[in-house]
Structure 1
Amino acid sequence: MESARQFDDIATVDPPPPYRPSDQGQNGSITLDLDYMKSIPGMLKAIEMVLYIIILICVGVGIHAWIHLRGVAIWALIWTILLYGVMATSVREKIRVIHWSASDFLSTGLHFMMMLIASIVAATHAGRGISADDAAIAFGFITAAVCFYHCYLRYPDFKSLVDRAQASRHSTTAQAGGQVRTTVTTVQQGDVVTERTVTTVHQ
């Protein structure tokens, strides 16, 4: 006799660790995570915030406006402050639906690309001589380098999350055994196209 079982192709991740009140401080108060602040990613995050401020100061006193470089620095500074405020405190343990290390990798990677592009554009339009504008460009490249190194350190965490999601998605099929048949159903409603993948295991 042949029986068939179907499994939806839905990616899942491991559940977060159990909630422990001791991690949150007494009476649910917000406490500082000194371990993160002393870690290399934490120190790099603090260095990035300082570099963004230096870029804004240099652009402010310079001759050229460098609107693109200033815009990237402002946006990256605000987002970095918010993310650092979460990861350097017990708020990180309270909001567990987000993988903060992966979010740190993605946001820092975006900052790296935007700061590198903005610095290159500013460098192509810079004049001769040493000025505050040149300092802003130089600090822009330095910031991009720091962000790249930060991403390099965070990449293993991001890759681990992706690997766990893929392993969890295929674990049901792997444990079931037998013959596997995958069916992809495409449904179009107006301009919206929805695809649903169904894996059928025959035993």
Structure 2
Amino acid sequence: MRNTEEAEGFEGEASNTSMISGASSPYQPTTEPVHSRNVLGQIRCDMEYLKSVFGMLKAIEVVLSLIGFICIETIMLCLPCGGVYFFEFVSCSGFVVTGVLLIIFCLNLHTKVPHVNWNLTDLVNTAASTFFFFLASVVLASLNHKTGAEIAAVIFGFLVTCVYGLNTFLAVRRWRLGDGGQGAVQTSEYQRARTASRGEMEARPDLA
């Protein structure tokens, strides 16, 4: 009989200990689980940007840079090859960097990072690309061997230089007219998102 009472006592103590440890456990959830947000669902292609002047200029720059890179890659023999290698590097870099910026603006990814001055970033890229494409085209034109691939690369190099130059002019004018407009809009959206998130956290009741 005593053994039965002792067993029941042990079971009660174990149950009470489990309840106390469970209540005081630091791993016990005290808030409701946060539902994962569908970030991919918020990404959409902005066709209005592609139809804008800056969007069309970037698309033309990407295409011309790619064509110039393909032309320079078809050259099998060169001596000296410094102009060919330099033009190859500039055309590949212009294609990659401008292509990435085009994707960022088309998918509105720049609104997710409001602390970056995207207008100034675009201006620096277009200005640097204008300078390096012009320099690479001049060097290639002075060192080429009159082959069809080199002549085509030089032509496309000067064409993309003109497009980059026009883009730089428009980017400088946009930056002078009001660079803070886009930054203010992005910062406002960021603050609105933080306020909404804070309101959701405050509305959730704490579990006792």
Name 2:59's counterpart in structure 1.
Answer: 46
1:54–1:139 contact (8 Å) kept in structure 2: yes
Q: Which residue, out of 160, 176, 181, partners 1:143?
A: 160
- In the alignment, is the contact (CA less than 8 A) between 1:102 and 1:161 conserved in 2? no
The answer on 1:58 being equivalent to 2:58 is no
Paired with 1:152 and 1:119, the residues of 2 have a C-alpha distance of 20
CA distance in 2: counterparts of 1:27 and 1:67, whole angstroms: 39
1:88-127 map, 5 Å: 88-127=106-145
Question: Does the 8 A contact of 2:69 with 2:91 survive in 1?
Answer: yes
Runs of 4+ in 1 over 6 A off after TM superposition: none
Q: Which amino acid aligns with 1:142?
A: L
Partner of 1:14: none
User: 1:106 Cα shift?
Assistant: 1.2
What residue is the counterpart of 2:151 in the other structure?
Answer: 134
Are the structure 2 counterparts of residues 26 and 126 from structure 1 closer, same or farther at C-alpha, using a change threshold of 3 Å?
closer
Tell me which residue corresponds to 1:190. none
The alpha-carbon deviation at position 160 of structure 1 amounts to 3.7
| Paired position in structure 2 for 1:32 | 45
Separation in structure 2 between the aligned mates of residue 74 and residue 38 of structure 1, nearest angstrom:
25
Structure with the larger RCO, 1 or 2 (CA within 8 Å, 6+ apart): 1
Q: Secondary structure of 2:49's match?
A: helix
Shift of 1:163: 8.8
TM-score, normalization: structure 1? 0.63
Q: Which has the higher strand share?
A: 1
- How many corresponding residue pairs? 139
Q: Distance in 1 between matches of 2:131 and 2:144?
A: 20
Match among 64, 74, 88 for residue 70 of structure 1: 88
Match of 1:87 in 2: 105
Greater helix content: 2
RMSD between superposed Cα atoms in Å: 2.2
Query: Match for 1:42: what amino acid?
Result: G
Moved more, 66-75 or 96-105: 96-105
**SS across alignment from 2:144:** coil
Indicate whether 1:155 and 2:172 are aligned.
Answer: yes
Structure 1 window deviating more from structure 2 (39-48 vs 97-106): it is 97-106
Query: Quick one: structure 1 residues 101 and 54, their matched pair in 2 at CA, closer, same or farther if it must change by over 3 Å?
Result: same
Task: Report the 3-state secondary structure (helix = DSSP H, G, I; strand = E; otherwise coil) of the residue aligned with 2:145.
Answer: coil
Point out where structure 1 has 5 or more consecutive residues left out of the alignment.
1-24, 165-203
